[in-house]
Amino acid sequence: MEAQIGSSCPELITKIVVSFGHPVDEILKTADEEGCDMIVLGNHGKGFLSHTFLGSVSSGVLHRTRKPVFMIPLPSGKDAIELGEM
C-alpha cells in the first residue's frame, strides 16, 4: 500500500468540464473562462520519439498559453483513470 500525503485527489476536484471541439482551443478557452492559474496535462508518451517530442495537444497548449503548464506522465497500459481509483 502506498503512503498518501494530504487529501486524496477526488477531494481536490471542484469541477469537471467536458467540451467538444479542437482540444487545444477548448483547453485554453476553459482555462481562461475558469480563471485557472495553471494548466495540468497528462502525457501518454506514446511512440519511439516520446522522450524528444510532445504530443500535438501538449505542444499546442505549451506554445499558445502564458500560464504555467504542468505535464504528468500517465502510467503505461492505462487508457483511462477512474476517479474512484485515486
- Banded model confidence at residue 80, pLDDT cuts 50, 70, 90: low
pLDDT of 86: 47
**Higher-confidence position of 22 and 55:** 22
- What tens digit of pLDDT does each residue of 18-53 get? 999 999 999 999 999 999 999 998 877 665 555 455
The dihedral over CA atoms of 28, 43, 37, 33, expressed in degrees to the nearest 10, equals: 30
What percent of the chain stands above pLDDT 90?
Answer: 38
| Class of residue 38 by CB neighbours under 10 A (exposed 0-12, middle 13-18, buried 19+) | exposed
pLDDT of 46: 62
Where do the domains of the chain lie, and which CATH numbers do they carry? 9-85 (3.40.50.620)
User: Half-sphere exposure (CA, 13 Å, Cβ side) for 72?
Assistant: 6
- Give the Cα separation of 59 and 55 in Å (integer): 6
Query: Which pTM value belongs to this model?
Result: 0.67
78 pLDDT higher than 70:
no
**Higher-confidence position of 56 and 51:** 56
